[in-house]
Amino acid sequence: MGALRDFVADMLESEGAATELIEPDGLGVLAPEPLRAAMGWPELTRLGFGSTMPAEAVPIGLEGDWLDRFGTLLGERGRFAERQLAVAANSPAPNDPQRLLDRALDLPNAVWRLQDVNPAWTRCLLLAFRYTAISDEKREGLIWLGFNQGTGAIMDGDFLLQLRTRLAAIADWQAPQPDIRRTAGVAWDAVTATARIERLVEHRVRLDLEGFLNAMRRRLDRDCGRVHAYHDDLRRTAQMKLAALAAAPGEKAEADRKREALRIAAVEREYAAKLDDLRHNYHLRVTVDWMQGLTLFAPVYRYNVLIKRRKGERAISIDWHPAIRMIEPPLSDWGLGVGRARFVCDDRLHLTDAGGQAPCPSCGKAWCRACHSAACPRCGRAAA
């Protein structure tokens, strides 16, 4: 709980409180009036952050409503920031750019040629989203997305993890210099950013919830099986009794047949109601909220590449980041943009995922979803 204690101490000091570390795992707080009113504390209080706490300490943990109360205290502060990434001046570019690009760029239906390599600054956007999934159980998680606004590339997987790890290891926070801010280019507008973010957020949340969903489906199948076995046994017993009474004469036999028929109908109604209860119990509700954002101004080596497809040509840029000594994937004009394989369309040389150039399910014509996002240009079938 040391990290949580340090966070709370920094936050309270920013609110004007005086703090003192108390062993074991405690924090003494002398709080000003606004902070006391917000948190419901006396002027002098002790906070505890571990299993063993100082005497008369208020227990603080990740459970309960403490994180929400601290979040209310912070408000919108800390939600978005800008940072310049410092890298040693003697960080040269790789000496074999052709081999480096061979690993980063896979064009199954086009060719490419490296034009030049230049040092540059780029503007990266890092975003954190918190999701909450509620069914018969609850699952919460945090996902990070990264975008290079200078090249249009999506920074994902190990690349983003290495970059975030590098940022966490640098204690000094350097604000971006005005000339570097200008050199890095302009930020995306809201429409462009939203279009790039929405599909990727959904994809990442689905990946993160895959294990949770599989376990939920197993529990649902198990409970449905139990409910079916129980009601099927009741229904089968009633049907057997009804069959035994089929040839019996007399009013009593007729009354018994009606009773068993009503019992079968009641069992079927109850079974349907139990299934509805299970569907309601296992109904999945997922909410996603933006938590934090960081604009990172990073030094890069920019590889300018010429893409050739039939008689067309298109220039793109791919950045190599000396801070983590990794090259980012190429941009994608359609699709999630993860991985390195890109297909190039004939008309405008859009770079897309494989699905962006797939044949139409209706007429079989391959068409570019970046060129025609609404429907197939041949038969008019709406895009999926």
**Residue among 327, 365, 334, 364 nearest 348 (CA):** 334
DSSP string, 355-376: GGGPBPTTT--B--TTT-SSB-
- The pLDDT of residue 1: 56
pLDDT in tens, 257-302: 899 999 999 999 999 999 999 999 999 999 999 989 999 999 999 9
Residue that the structure tokens 């309601």 belong to: 280
pLDDT over 70 percentage in the chain: 99
Instruction: State the pLDDT confidence band at 245, using cuts at 50, 70 and 90.
Output: confident
Q: 98 pLDDT exceeds 60?
A: yes
The domain ranges of the chain are 2-77, 211-285
Burial 91-129 (b: 16+ CB within 10 A, else e): eebbeebeebbeebbebeebebeeeebeebbbbbbbbbb
Bridge pairing between strands 80-84 and 285-309 = parallel
- The pLDDT of residue 248: 82
Average pLDDT over residues 104-132: 94
pLDDT in tens, 320-330: 999 999 999 99
Alpha helices (runs of H) in 19-153, residue ranges in sequence order:
33-39, 66-74, 97-104
**Cβ 4 vs Cβ 49: under 8 Å:** yes
Q: Is the entire prediction scored with pTM above 0.85?
A: no
pLDDT in tens, 52-84: 777 888 888 777 777 788 878 877 777 899 999
